[in-house]
Amino acid sequence: MTVTQDWLRCVTPRPEAAVRLICLPHAGGSASFYAGWGALLPQAEVHAVAYPGRAHRFDDPLAEDLVEMAREIADAIAPLADKPLALFGHSLGAAVALETARALEAAGIPVVHLFASGSRNGPLPGPLPPPSEDPAELVEQLIRLGGTDPELAKDPDFQDLVLPYTLGDGKLFHAYRMSEEPQLCCPVTCVVGDADDDADIRPWAKIAPEGFVEHIVAGDHFYLSESPPDEIIAATLGGHGEGQDA
């Protein structure tokens, strides 16, 4: 298995597509979260990032440094740069997308657009307290955020499988300290639910001088489980998908 194959999953290969969309999951998420997005976005070839410690990478050590993980993701994406690249990240994935975009741009690989989902524009908050390691509290948090079926979240087998890497992702995210430099060379679009009280906050408008737009949509932190923002993505990337077959 190559580095690219290890990190990326593409359920719907679309070699004729004019743009590739790289999707980065939330904390506790996996590449399978984006399994249906290829069908929703016929103008793009969708690749989902597989974080270590879950699914086919269950035996791989969990990442401990978000910036370093983003550099490894950028290395895996680089062979796909024969076509325009866009990044989509939800929650934790938005921060990983930011650092991945920086790593790609530092390597001379342009990113045409960054979509920061579950993240809103605002002053960067101070350090957050470490996430709880109490399994019961983690389960309640998963249920409250809306990304996990309540009955499934309470299943002991599910907890044994999912909670370790969910906690690892939480530690990774809370340890991350974002620098406001370097600025991005690509424009940024934020998409956030109107009832999302848990949105990630970053100074996107400040670090994206090439353009920033924020869309408020109906829903909570996991609005995209029921209503993926495919129309926003398609309209934003439309110039790169013109002339492609549906």
Q: pLDDT tier at 148 (50, 70, 90 boundaries)?
A: low
DSSP state of 90: E
Residues 50 and 74: beta-carbon distance below 8 Å: no
Quote the strand ranges of 28-144, DSSP E. Answer: 44-49, 85-90, 113-117, 119-121
Q: Give backbone dihedrals phi and psi of 42, rounded to 5 degrees, phi first.
A: -65, -15
Within 8 A by CB and 6+ apart from 208, the residues are 114, 183, 184, 186, 187, 188
pLDDT at 136 over 90: no
Active site residues: 91, 221
My answer on whether omega of the bond before 182 falls inside 30° of 0, hence cis, is yes
SS3 content of the chain, % helix, strand, coil (to 5): 40, 15, 40
DSSP 161-219: HHHHHHHHHHHHHHH----S-SPPSS-EEEEEETT-SS-EEE-HHHH-TT-EEEEEESS
Rg over CA atoms, the chain: 17
Within 8 A by CB and 6+ apart from 78, the residues are 104, 107, 109
Residues 187 and 114: beta-carbon distance below 8 Å: yes
Q: What is the pLDDT of residues 179-195, one digit of tens each?
A: 999 999 999 999 999 99
Q: pLDDT tier at 243 (50, 70, 90 boundaries)?
A: very low
CB count in 10 Å sphere of residue 178: 13
Q: Could you tell me whether strands 8-9 and 44-49 are parallel, antiparallel, or unpaired per DSSP bridges?
A: antiparallel
Q: pTM of the entire structure?
A: 0.90
Q: What is the pLDDT of residues 25-83, one digit of tens each?
A: 999 899 999 999 999 999 999 999 999 999 999 999 999 999 999 999 999 999 999 99
Determine the pLDDT at residue 143: 61
Instruction: Indicate the helix (H) or strand (E) that contains 153.
Output: helix 150-153
CA dist 8 → 37, 61, 123, 239 (Å)? 14, 17, 32, 25
Q: What percent of the chain has pLDDT over 70?
A: 87
